[in-house]
Amino acid sequence: MGSVQLQDFAAGWVGGAASVIVGHPLDTIKTRLQAGQGYGNTLNCVLTVYRNESVAGFFKGMSFPLASIAIYSSVVFGVFSNTQRFLSQLRHGDLSHTPALADVALASMVAGFVSVGIGTPVDLVKIRLQMQTQPYIEANIKLKPTVPGFPVYRGPIHCFRTVLQKEGIAGIYRGAGAMLLRDVPGYCLYFIPYTFFCGWITPDGCISPNPSSVWLAGGVAGAISWGTATPMDVVKSRLQADGVYLNRYKGTFDCILQSYQNEGLKVFFRGITVNAVRGFPMSSAMFLGYELSLTAMKRDQTATNP
């Protein structure tokens, strides 16, 4: 693999780290609203977390995604960019040819499909760590040796190991079906709007978009993608949070059915405001980190090899 192809993976690493730092506090709120109990609205959830767990509560479970999102985003951006190049070479015989809308869509779907393999275990550990302090309210159920309200997992590695020992590989990939249904269309609604808005905002004659264009296009793309992905995101969060104390859902369809029967259609839009709002700064940071580091690497390469 050439240096150009590797640069996309490296730039994705930078973008991913930037997005985690910016978006994790809102991600914690989103997860608590979707899979927790007794929070009411977004503001109430923020105040409750702050009162009970201080500022540190918003950053619960961040170390694992921060370490692993580098690989995750690296793969997503690397696969997306290299699939685009491959399609341009295949269809036009030119790697640098501007990709058509169909090429962007196909590359997005491939990136979404590949990302699930890495993203599911990362999300599972993150959500288990975010949810383990939640009180479990269920009548006539004795939960031993775990006491609800006290940490079940000592940290990300312990969490991963515990789930693997108790539930096997299937446990680590719990919620993968829901994540696949979220991410394959979700990445189409991520990369397509970004490509469109970047092209629309960037002045004619400019080879690459300026930082403000990237920030705005990335933010809008993130808000659209996360907003529309919310229903399957709710299902995924519930499936992955399930199992801290006991298993309630048999699978994706069962989770959809139980959630609908117990709470109606509105349950699938829980956290949609937080998702759309956090989608903007997270994606802005992601695309800015990606584009700026890619530009810096290309500049260094040009300086090294004039």
Q: Is the pLDDT of residue 139 over 60?
A: no
Residue 21 maps to a domain:
no
Give me the sign of the Cα torsion angle 242, 247, 248, 250. Answer: positive
Lowest mean pLDDT across 61-70, 124-133, 139-148, 251-260? 139-148
Per-position DSSP letters for the chain, written without gaps between them: --HHHHHHHHHHHHHHHHHHHHHHHHHHHHHHHHH-SS--SHHHHHHHHHHHHTGGGGGTT-HHHHHHHHHHHHHHHHHHHHHHHHHHHHHHS-TTSPPPHHHHHHHHHHHHHHHHHHHHHHHHHHHHHHHTTSPP--TT----S--TTS-S-SSHHHHHHHHHHHHHHHHHTTTHHHHHHHHHHHHHHHHHHHHHHHHHHSPTT-SS--HHHHHHHHHHHHHHHHHHHHHHHHHHHHHHHTTSS----SSHHHHHHHHHHHH-GGGGGTTHHHHHHHHHHHHHHHHHHHHHHHHHHHHHHHHH--
137 pLDDT tier (thresholds 50, 70, 90): very low
Q: Distance between CA atoms of 110 and 228, rounded to whole angstroms? A: 19
**Confidence grade of residue 259 (pLDDT, cut at 50, 70, 90):** very high
116 falls within a domain: yes
Structural domain count, the chain: 1
Q: Is the pLDDT of residue 73 over 60?
A: yes
Predicted structure pTM score: 0.78
Any domain includes 117: yes
Give the pLDDT of residue 147.
46
- Least confident residue range of 6-10, 25-29, 59-63, 85-89: 59-63
Judge whether 13 lies within some domain.
Answer: no
Give the tens place of pLDDT for each residue, 169-212. 999 999 999 999 999 999 999 999 999 888 888 766 555 678 88
- pLDDT, tens digit (0-9, with 9 covering 90-100), for 289-306: 999 998 888 777 666 655
Assess if residue 24 is contained within a domain: no
Any domain includes 242: no
The predicted structure's pLDDT at residue 141: 42
121: domain range? 62-173
120 in any annotated domain: yes
Mean pLDDT (whole number) for 113-138 = 79
pLDDT at residue number 182: 94
Q: So what's the pLDDT on residue 3?
A: 66
Q: Confirm whether 138 is domain-assigned.
A: yes
Average pLDDT of the chain to the nearest whole number: 84
Q: Cα 32 from chain centroid?
A: 16
Per-residue pLDDT, 2: 56
Nearest 10 degrees: CA dihedral of 275, 277, 279, 280? 170
